[in-house]
Amino acid sequence: MGKVIAIANQKGGVGKTTTAVNLAASMAATKRKVLLIDLDPQGNATMGSGVDKYELAASAYELLIDEKPLSDVVVKETTGGYHLIGANSDVTAAEVRLMDVFARELRLRTALKAYKSSYDYIFIDCPPSLNMLTVNAMAAADSVLVPMQCEYFALEGLTALVDTINKLAAVINADLKIEGILRTMYDPRNRLANDVSEQLKQHFGDKVYRAVIPRNVRLAEAPSFGSPVMYYDKSSTGAKAYLALAGEILRRSEKKASSAPSVAL
Ligand code: ADP
Ligand code: MG
């Protein structure tokens, strides 16, 4: 049964989409069957997967609002070797339309039900707010992966997010867990980043991934080539960091002893 992981943080620009695309590609490179669902109307994860958001035949809108089966909406050809449910500005309308539908929080959960067994991992790239799309992601997810930058106010934002996750879990998804907290755009020479990182570990213990994503210009460049970083510059620190993250997630959830996933590039 596939594990559904929502990648969420109500703050924008913390590395959600970068993590969604590169973690999906890294997992797919380990021969896992992976689906990435883009729930952000900006469609950055879609474009970053080499799929033109302006040319989508169907998007998350059709899945959530028209209740089309996932098999009719999924894009099977991406540069990252995973399947994709794309997003574009239509998904803004989905957020509005969701307000008027029955069991509006559970649309994505219902849509995924029959397809969870077809994948090993399903990642959901959430928009930068706690709107109905994000609520749908959290209702459908087994766990939430929180990317964050180690900045001064980051811990406050994180506390707010954890509160929300706990409240949602109480109402719509009792099994929802925090998958892990990922430090992104990390600069080890930055004293504040190190301080915040220490506080994070004190608060959240081993929920904080040992894998750290460094600031790496290749990660920022790759999306403009419609590609995950590992197929743009496989020797970059960004590519290695996301492979290490995939390995850590696999070891945690599959309790395997190997230190890194084997990758065929
Ligand atoms: P979010 O989805 O949370 O809004 P993004 O993943 O889109 O965040 O990242 C915001 C910006 O920062 C993008 O331009 C992205 O290319 C860049 N970026 C993300 N992670 C890194 C990194 N580790 N190093 C350098 N640039 C990064
Ligand atoms: Mg994003």
Return the structure tokens found at 140: 């459908």
From the CA of 18, give the closest atom in ligand 1.
Answer: 6
Domain boundaries along the sequence of the chain: 3-254
Written out in words, the top-level CATH class of the domain with range 3-254 is alpha beta
Q: Could you tell me if the CB of 149 is within 6 A of ligand 1?
A: no
Return the structure tokens found at 133: 């799309």
> Is 157:188 a contact under the CB 8 Å cutoff?
no
> Is 187:217 a contact under the CB 8 Å cutoff?
no
* Angstrom distance (rounded) from CA 57 to CA 72: 9
Regions in the chain scoring below 70 on pLDDT = 255-265
> Is 121:93 a contact under the CB 8 Å cutoff?
no
The CA 125 to ligand 2 mean position distance, Å, reads 7
Return the structure tokens found at 80: 């990252």
Check if the interface score ipTM surpasses 0.90: yes
Q: Helices 154-171 & 191-204, crossing angle to 10 degrees?
A: 30
From the CA of 9, give the closest atom in ligand 1.
Answer: 3
pLDDT tens for residues 166-198?
998 999 999 999 999 999 999 989 999 999 999
> Is 178:208 a contact under the CB 8 Å cutoff?
no
Query: What was the pLDDT predicted at 257?
Result: 38
